[in-house]
Amino acid sequence: MIRMMEEKDLDRIAELEEQLFPADPWQKKNFLYEMNDNPYARLFVFEENGTVLGYADLWIMFEQAQIANLAVAREAQGRGIGRALMNRCLAEAEAEGCEVISLEVRVSNERAISLYSKSGFIKAAVRKGYYENGEDAYLMIKPLGGNQYDNAAGN
C-alpha cells in the first residue's frame, strides 16, 4: 500500500538511501526538511507487511510538478513498486492541475530511464556535470492534462 511518509519511517529510509545512492545519499534531516519545511513537497512510501520498500518525494509548484526522489529497496526491485509510486505521483500532479512534470536522472541509470520512458517522460535536455562525481543528468519531462498546448494538439 502507498501512504504518506511519516517521521517514524525515516531511519529505514535513511538506510535505503545509503544502500541505493551511496555516492550522495539524502540524510534523515533532508527528509525532515522536506516533510516539515518544504511547502511544495509530498512524500509517499510503499509499505508491505509493515516494512517500507520504496518512497517518492514529489514537488508540486503551481503548474509544475517535479519528482525529487524515487527509490525502491534493492530486494524489492522489479516487482512494480517503482511504477506504482510513479503512478501515484502522476495522479497527484494531475489532480492538482499541473501542466508538466519533470525529473533528473543519471545518464547511466538505464533501469530508471526505462521506467520513466514507459511512463511517458521524454528526454528534454542534458544537464552537464549535474552530479557530484561529474556525471551528466537527463532532464526528463512529461506534459500533463492541465497542459492546454498538449490538449490543443489532440494528445
| Residue found under cell 525515516 | 10
Per the residue annotation, which of 92, 104, 131, 135 is the catalytic one? 104
Q: Candidates 6, 111, 129, 148: give the one binding ligand COA (CB under 6 A).
A: 111
Is 94 designated active site?
no
Minimum CB separation of residue 2 from ligand COA in Å reads: 12
Interaction of residue 20 with ligand COA, rule CB under 6 A: yes
Locate 126 and state its grid cell: 542534458
Interaction of residue 52 with ligand COA, rule CB under 6 A: no
Interaction of residue 3 with ligand COA, rule CB under 6 A: no
Is 132 designated active site?
no
Interaction of residue 107 with ligand COA, rule CB under 6 A: no
| Residue found under cell 511517458 | 120
DSSP state of 29: H
Alpha-carbon distances, residue 33 vs 15, 72, 109 (angstroms):
17, 21, 26
User: Positive or negative CA dihedral for 14, 88, 66, 114?
Assistant: positive
Strand partners, 46: 2, 54
Buried-exposed string 36-62: b where 16+ CB fall within 10 A, e elsewhere: eeeeebbbbbbbeeeebbbbbbbbbee
Q: Candidates 13, 43, 52, 81: give the one binding ligand COA (CB under 6 A).
A: 81
Per the residue annotation, which of 17, 55, 116, 138 is the catalytic one? 116
Interaction of residue 58 with ligand COA, rule CB under 6 A: no
Residues tagged active-site: 104, 116
Contacting positions for ligand COA (CB under 6 A): 20, 70-72, 77-83, 105, 109, 111-112, 114-115, 118
